[in-house]
Amino acid sequence: MTSKVELDSRLDPRIKAFFAGMDTGTPQPDVSSREELLAQESTPEAVAAYAQQVALFDAMDSEKIAPSAGLTVRTETFISSPDGNTVKL
């Protein structure tokens, strides 16, 4: 089955290649309450999986992988429509 990532022509091919090797697992089932979800996400296995994901993203945050030369950082603010929420990017 072709994923949305594979079909998105806007994505850098390196990003596509990275995500192609990832196991996205099965979709999470609906939960009956916030407490049930928190219990699921607080298991030792879930905490370990989250720590592994954080370590992966931290490892990718380097000048070698994502150089900042020439990068401009700014904040844009706009009001969404029709709900009028203020959004900062």
Q: In whole angstroms, give the CA distance from residue 16 to residue 88.
A: 27
End-to-end, the C-alpha distance of the chain in Å comes to: 33
For residue 79, pLDDT over 70 is answered with: yes
- 38: in domain: yes
Per-residue pLDDT tens over the stretch 46-59: 999 999 989 988 88
- 56: in domain: yes
Secondary structure class of 26 (helix, strand, coil): coil
At 33, the pLDDT band (50, 70, 90 cuts) reads very high
pTM metric for this prediction: 0.49
Host domain of residue 54: 33-67
- 45: in domain: yes
Rg (CA), the chain: 18
- 58: in domain: yes
